Every structure is written in structure tokens, then in C-alpha cells.
Amino acid sequence: MKKRCVVYAKDIARITGKSARYGQKALKKIRDFFNKTKDEFITVEDFSKFSSIPIPRIMEYLD
């Protein structure tokens, strides 16, 4: 079974141990960093590059 390739605010909150609101703010910062619109998805690769957390570690938290 394949895992998701998209990161949501709840995933960021779970990975960082912070609030859901923190996850929303982090997504906004990541979108700004990569010049993405609010309609574009944030991928695991984007989050990994932005946060310096290795992709395998991120994948452990995704359903």
C-alpha cells in the first residue's frame, strides 16, 4: 500500500508535536518559500527541504 505524498497541517502538527494552528502557519510559510498558490499541494519533498527533516522520518508519520 502506498503512502500519501502530500503533507497537511495536521501532519505537520503531529510531526512537530505542536498545535494544528502551527501546522497551518507552517504550510503558509512553505507555500511562500516555494512560490506556490494556496491551491497547490505541499509535497513530502517540499516539507523535507524546508524543515531539513529526512523524507523517511516524515513518512513514518503519514497514514
Residue 43 pLDDT more than 70?
yes
Q: What's the grid cell of residue 13?
A: 502538527
pLDDT above 70 covers what percent of the chain?
98
pLDDT over 70 at 1, yes or no:
no
Give the Cα separation of 47 and 21 in Å (integer): 17
What pLDDT, on the 0 to 100 scale, is given for residue 46?
97
Specify the pLDDT at position 63.
Answer: 74
pLDDT > 90: percent of the chain:
90
When pLDDT is averaged across residues 27-46 and rounded to a whole number, the result is 96
Q: What is the pTM of this model?
A: 0.90
Tell how many helices (H) and how many strands (E) occur in the chain. Answer: 4, 0
